[in-house]
Structure 1
Amino acid sequence: MKPSKIVVPTLFEWAGGMPAFEHLFDEFYNKVLIDPLLEPVFKHMPPEHRQHVAHFVAEVLGGPKLYSEEGGSHFKMISKHLSRHLTQEHRKRWMELLLETADELTLPDDPEFRSAFLAYLEWGTRIAVINSHQDIANEPEDIPMPKWGWGVPGGPYIP
């Protein structure tokens, strides 16, 4: 008898699918809008911003291409950060609030998921800060969307 192949879920699937991402970013931006450091940066964001970010992150982590199908692209995401002059303090607070919200909403907290999730957030927020100090994007318009997986652990923790 041949052993069955283990199917490793995407980070998107392991996190709970689109409802988990939309809820995460909705609750997260509620906190952002009352945070003394981040509120001035985000107070003029359009109402659809929360959903766009949820769809972007979900797509990067293996979810459906809703962000791309809504007319978004990695180049457009880069462009949204141009000339915003974000600081490391902004980035760190953004990360802190998002991870706090993930804990409160009980997103998976196994070490493999959180390692991959945190790695993507670190990478993405650092790129956002870099791009925020530029006036034009230094990437081609057809730069592909990032694709983030489990990384070194290779899959979820199964006790």
Structure 2
Amino acid sequence: MENKNAIPTPYEWAGGVGKFEKLTEVFYDKVLKDEVLEPVFRHMSPEHSKHVAHFLAEVLKGPKFYSEEYGTDALKHMVGKHIGKRLKEEQRKRWVELLLMSADEIGLPDDPEFRSTFVGHLEWGTRVALLNSQLEENPTTDQDHIPEWGWGEVKGPYEIVGSLFQMKKE
């Protein structure tokens, strides 16, 4: 029985997986027309948009579609997409800007609580991706996992992968 007083996860508040898939579909249409980002994404696979949607959904405490697809190497797979890309701050900022424009366009919730959580994750995640893109080798280990991002999360100072990605001992 569902607890009607339970606080929804950011994923639930956003509207579920369909909302994230619509978000990335609209977003990557913009990316492929953008002079700053198109060179980075021109050869992306047709499934890329959906993979990013599923990753975002999982990080915001939704179903583990991304992890189910890639198994125990899900984080290694995602981090590996950035290794050696030598991304620049201008590209990182533009990625965030276009994603937020797309969020507005599709009607993703714009209340301060959701947006602070969503933007907090985007800023943190894109900065980690920028750092990882400067590397030649994937730093993930079998102890690393996809992070979860809830309401009001602050992840603190980060390493390229490091302790914030470590699996919690249960």
Same fold (TM over 0.5): yes
Q: Single out whichever of 136-145 and 125-134 deviates more from structure 2.
A: 136-145
CA contact (8 A) 1:26 1:50 kept: yes
| Mapping for residues 48-59 of structure 1, pairs under 5 Å | 48-59=47-58
Displacement of 1:75 in angstroms is: 1.6
In structure 2, the residue matched to 1:106 is 107
CA contact (8 A) 2:12 2:62 kept: yes
**Residue 75 and residue 142 in structure 1: after superposition, are their counterparts in 2 closer, same or farther (change >3 A)?**
farther
TM-score, normalised by the number of residues in structure 2: 0.84
Structure 1: tracts of 5 or more residues without a match: 153-159
| Mapping for residues 5-154 of structure 1, pairs under 5 Å | 6-71=5-70, 73-151=74-152
Alpha-carbon distance in structure 2 between the residues aligned to 1:102 and 1:68? 24
Structure 2: tracts of 5 or more residues without a match: 154-170
Q: 1 or 2 for the larger relative contact order (CA 8 Å, sep ≥6)?
A: 1
Alpha-carbon distance in structure 2 between the residues aligned to 1:142 and 1:67? 17
Displacement of 1:121 in angstroms is: 0.4
Q: What's the Cα RMSD here?
A: 1.4
CA contact (8 A) 1:12 1:61 kept: yes
Displacement of 1:146 in angstroms is: 0.5
Amino acid corresponding to residue 10 of structure 2 in structure 1:
L
Q: Which of these two proteins has the greater Rg computed from alpha carbons?
A: 1
Displacement of 1:5 in angstroms is: 7.6
4+ residue runs of structure 1 moved beyond 6 angstroms?
A: none
TM-score, normalised by the number of residues in structure 1: 0.90
Q: Count residues with an aligned counterpart.
A: 149
Q: Deviations over 1:66-109 (max 9, x none)?
A: 10111151121111100001000000000000000101111000
Q: Single out whichever of 101-110 and 141-150 deviates more from structure 2.
A: 141-150
Amino acid corresponding to residue 127 of structure 2 in structure 1:
R
Alpha-carbon distance in structure 1 between the residues aligned to 2:4 and 2:25? 36
Secondary structure, counterpart of 1:63 in structure 2: coil
CA contact (8 A) 2:75 2:140 kept: no
Displacement of 1:139 in angstroms is: 2.6
